Structure 1
Amino acid sequence: MENQPEDSSHVMARVLDSLAVGVFTVDDDWNIRFFNTEAERLTGVCREEALGRKCYQVFHTRD
């Protein structure tokens, strides 16, 4: 089978996931769209639980 190039979003996700700092991204409505391994470790929230939720639901803030 021939190797196909990864699309840039997958490459960026792999790079961000390898960082030793917590990184997450949100959309215009403050829904979490990316949550790296270090963010999981720092917050105690698994990626699957964080993705798609509002920031305040994960980080327990009022705004």
Structure 2
Amino acid sequence: MKNLKTLLLITAMLFAGSLYAQPPAFEEDVDDVVMAPIPGIAIAAAVALVIGFKVAQRED
């Protein structure tokens, strides 16, 4: 019973700070920006796949 009380006390102390943590209010007048594509990401993914297949074939 003593261990249970100690565990509950420690848990309450650890999570008490997170109960007060709240994100700041969101401003409603923020200008939305269109996300720009990352150039070359498809080429990088294709190169990574080719290298991965070659390494996997060598391990067999």
What TM-score does the superposition give when structure 1 sets the normalisation length? 0.27
Answer with 1 or 2: which has the greater Rg.
2
Structure whose residues are more often strand by fraction: 1
Larger RCO: Structure 1 or Structure 2 (Cα < 8 Å, ≥ 6 residues apart)? 1
TM-score, normalising length from structure 2?
0.28
